[in-house]
Structures are given as structure tokens and as C-alpha cells.
Structure 1
Amino acid sequence: MFTRRESFKEYITFYPIVSLILLVNLLVYLATFLPVLPNQLITESMVGVNLYIVQGEWWRLITPIFLHTGFSHFLFNCFSIFLFGPALERALGKPKFLAVYLFTGILANIATLVTEPLTFSHLGASGSIFGMFGYYIALIVFRKDIISRNNSQVIGTIAALSLIMTFIQPNINIGAHLFGFLFGVAAGSLLEAKGKKIIPSYKEEFLQLRGRIRSNRKPPAKTLTIWAIIIALALIGLFR
């Protein structure tokens, strides 16, 4: 579920919204860090500054979701989206996944506006990423037909560790992490509590069949090690 074996073409075909989010993150990163562009002006107009939001610059509740402080921040957040986004997009469908990703991030930024002083500034996709974690928790509780027991343990452990690290690491927007997670849980609980069993689409059936075939092949130890490192880096990136 969280191991990506698709080719590049398969990935963008089966997970178009995740691919679009990653592309937007890349374009914004290039626009804000390439020296040939007016990056300082772009960055200053996109950062979530509470004072400017109160003064009417409402777009600053949205743009920080796609803005990063540097390459490592950009890389690790995109790793998190790359790893944990596809399964959720597949489970929810494209429109619902996009809505969950955007609205949990926006609501996390609104919570930051309410709970932090006017001088506070913030940026990053952590609110949306924690929103995905929260929605996964709701799926674990209400939709056991979607997530197996093993995958439930994986995502539950990752979510718990991420929340714990929120209070340990310095310079973290704690409110965005916590409220993003809570809004994700709330959205998942409201939408999935009375959910019906999934009827897979043709593409999903193809993926399921492909997954069963490939799961019967034992991946080499080297592959497992690489994916363990990638997942660890993705988690570290949430707190940079």
C-alpha cells in the first residue's frame, strides 16, 4: 500500500492528483529559488503571515501549502506526499482526495491564524500531510475493507511518531500539525462512518491484480533497505 512499484508513467496515470500536487510544489520551488526569477517578491507574497492575512490577504491561507524554506524541506515533504498520497487518492477518488488535501491544509492555517500572534509566519505542506494521516486513522476505524491490518499498523505507527516528534523538534508549527491531523480525522469520520464497501474501478482492479502478482515476489534486501531509508527521510522532512 505504501510501497511504490509503479513506473513513472503508471504513477502519473493512476495518481493524477498526487502527481499534480508534486508538480505544483516543484514549479513553486523553482519559481522561488531560481536566481533568475524575482524569487524574493514571490516568496514574500506567498508566506503565511498572520498580520497580512488579517489585513485581507486571504490567499496566504492557501499558498503556504505549496511553499518551502529550502531544498531539504521541499524534498522531504514531497517524499511524504509521494509515499502516502497515492493510497489515499485511490481509496477516496480524485475529487475527494483533492478536497481533503487542500481543506485540511487551509483549516490548519486558519487554526494557526487563530492560535498564534499576528507576527507569526509559516509555510509548508505539513498541515495537509497531517490531514492525510488523520484521514487514514478514520479509515482504519471505519473502513477496514480499505486498509489491511498490517497497513493499519504501519500508518498508525507513523502517525503516532509524527505527532510525538511535533513536540520534540524545535521551530515546528505545532498548531498546524495538530489541527491538520484533527481535521483529517474529523473529515474521515464524517465521510466514512457510514461508507459502503468499495466497488473498485477497472484501474483499481488492475492495480490490485498487479499488486498481488508482485507481492508474491520477495523483494531483495537492498530494495527494502532503500525504501526504509526513503520513508525515514520523509518523516524527518516533516520536522525540518
Structure 2
Amino acid sequence: MFIRNERSIKEFMQNYPVVSTLVIIHFILWLIIDFLRLPIGFYIWNMGTAYNFFIAQGEYWRLLTSTILHADLMHALFNSFSLVLFGPALEQMLGKLKFLFLYFGAGIIGSLASFIFEPLNYASVGASGAIFGLFGVYIFMVMNRKHLIDQGSAKMISVILAISLIMTFIQPNINILAHLFGFIGGFILAPLVLRNVRPYSPWNVRQHRYHSDEDIQFDPNRWKKKRRISPKLRKNIFWIILGFLALLGLFSRFF
């Protein structure tokens, strides 16, 4: 479930449009706010961050908008990588709408816990609460819907969750409440979103796409056309993009 076998970024985006869109939003906002530092970026940051004081004044949208903002590039990279790793299987199983309901529902629950239990001068951003909400659904499957998750994936997600929880308490500047209550939120929402759900299959989307191609006329010379990008480069394009963004973030600290 957690090993990506898509042959290109284009195929990944076609198969998992919600996850792809969320990741793109993360990096567009990082570019605007942190790298380019545009005036509109400061406005988005000030209006989107979960400042408890302003939430108490009735600005409840911050509980949601804070889940797509990140403090810096590494924060955005880590959460986006986690989303790419753990989100696709659930997006396929649940469908777009239920996946969005789960993801932002868990994120809002995590933000709400920070608002309730942290002081008024507390502020936070990040998709970690929503990511932990995905963990909550997987653990619910491990405990109550064993037919929806294979044994290998169940062991993997349990180990990763344990490591993530440990890191939550030992790393500085972590919103512990958002992580814990995001996980709890995902676990609570799991029975709702898992109704009439089938186990994850990496072939479902591909078969649909191949069937839709039957009406397209076959071109016998299609494989003779020169490829503009080498197979090796296309295979590693995702990591190249992440590396490029990391370099941008590094250089932005000096200029």
C-alpha cells in the first residue's frame, strides 16, 4: 500500500489528484510566502495561521487554513512526503470527497485541540495533524477492518506511527496536541469514511485508464518516436524536484 509504483509524475497525478493538488498547494504557498516573500504572501500567512487569540475573536477559518501552511521548506517537504507516501491508498479506497473530509476533518480536530488547551498567544501551522489523521484510519483498519489492509502494511504503519509519536515528544517546536488529536480525529472518523470500502489495489486506476484507451486508434509508430526525457531521468524526476526545492530553500537563507 505504501510503495509507490507509478511510472511517472503524470501517472501519479492522474491516479491521485487530491494528494497531488495538496502537495502542489504546499509548495506554491511556500514559494509565495517563504521564498519569494511577496506582499500577498505576508497577507496569506497572517490571515491563515492558527493564532489562538484571533480564533477566539471568531476567525474560525484559521482552524482549516493553518493545515496547508508551513513554517519553512523542510516542514513542507516532510509533510508533503508523508502525504505522498500514506495518502494515495486512502484516496483510492475512499474516493476524493471522503478523503478530503477525513484529511481536513482530522486537521481541524488537531487545530481545535491546540486552540482549547494552549494559551491565547499560541500559534501554529502545518499539515501534521491531518497526516496523523491518516495514521488514525490505518490503525483503525489494523484493529477493526483487517480485511482492508494486508499484514505487511499493518506492521509497517504500526512501526512508523510508533516512531512518529516518539519524534513528536523529543523534537522541538512540535505541536504535540495537533499530532495526538489529529490521530484521534482520524480514528474517530474512520468508521464513517470506511463504509462500503474495498481494499486498496494498485491496478484499479490503471485498468480504468487502459479500458478508456480502447477507443483510441493504435499508432504502430508510436514507440519509434524519440523520447525527449530519458527513462532514468523520468524515474527519478520526483526526487530531482524535491532536491531542487531543498536547494532553493537553502539559498533563500542567504539572500
Give the TM-score normalised by structure 1: 0.80
Aligned residues: 210
Q: CA 1:202–1:179 in structure 2 vs 1: closer, same or farther (change >3 Å)?
A: closer
1:145–1:197 CA contact under 8 A, matched in 2: no
User: Counterpart in 2 of 1:103?
Assistant: 105
Judge conservation of contact 1:142–1:189 (CA < 8 Å) in 2. no
CA distance, structure 2, for counterparts of residue 36 and residue 96 of structure 1: 34
Measure the CA separation in 1 of the matches of 2:46 and 2:175: 19
Structure 1: runs of 5 or more not aligned: 211-222, 231-240
SS in 2 for 1:171: coil
Residue in 2 aligned with 1:78?
80
Indicate whether 1:198 and 2:198 are aligned.
Answer: yes
1:185 aligned to 2:187? yes
- Paired with 1:36 and 1:175, the residues of 2 have a C-alpha distance of 29
Give the equivalent residue in structure 2 for 1:217: none
User: Which residue number in structure 2 is paired with residue 234 of structure 1?
Assistant: none
**Aligned pair in 2 of structure 1 residues 13, 103: CA closer, same or farther (>3 Å)?**
same
Structure 1 pair 113/91, CA: closer, same or farther in 2 (3 Å)?
same
156-165 or 140-149, larger mean C-alpha shift: 140-149
The alpha carbon displacement at 1:75 in A equals 1.0
Corresponding residue number in structure 1 for 2:249: none
1:47 and 1:122 in contact (8 A); partners too: yes
Q: Relative to structure 2, which stretch is displaced further, 33-42 or 75-84?
A: 33-42
CA contact (8 A) 2:148 2:199 kept: no
Provide Cα deviations, 1:105-145, integer angstroms capped at 9, x if missing partner. Answer: 01110111001000000000000000000111111222222
**Preserved CA contact (<8 Å) 2:148 2:200:** no
Q: Cα offset for 1:35?
A: 3.0
1:65 aligned partner: 67
CA distance in 2, matches of 1:5, 1:27: 26
**Structure 1 counterpart of 2:78, one-letter code:** F
1:160 aligns with 2:162: yes
Rg larger for: 2
From 166, 174, 177, the equivalent of 1:175 is 177
1:115 aligns with 2:117: yes
Rounded to whole Å, the distance in 1 between the matches of 2:140 and 2:186 is 8
Counterpart amino acid of 1:16? P
CA apart distance, 1:197: 6.2
Any gaps of 5 or more consecutive residues in structure 2?
A: 211-234, 243-255
Structure 1 residue identity aligned to 2:110? A
TM-score with structure 2 setting the length: 0.75
Counterpart in the other structure of 1:233: none
Q: Could you tell me how far apart the structure 2 residues matched to 1:197 and 1:59 are? A: 30
* In structure 1, C-alpha distance between the alignment counterparts of 2:29 and 2:189, rounded to whole Å: 28
CA contact (8 A) 1:105 1:127 kept: yes
Matched, 1:8 2:26: no
Aligned to 2:33: 32
Runs of 4+ in 1 over 4 A off after TM superposition: 199-203
CA apart distance, 1:51: 0.1
1:97 Cα offset (Å)? 0.7
Q: CA RMSD in A?
A: 2.6
The aligned residue for residue 216 of structure 1 is none
The residue that corresponds to 2:250 in the other structure is: none
Identical counterparts, % of pairs = 44
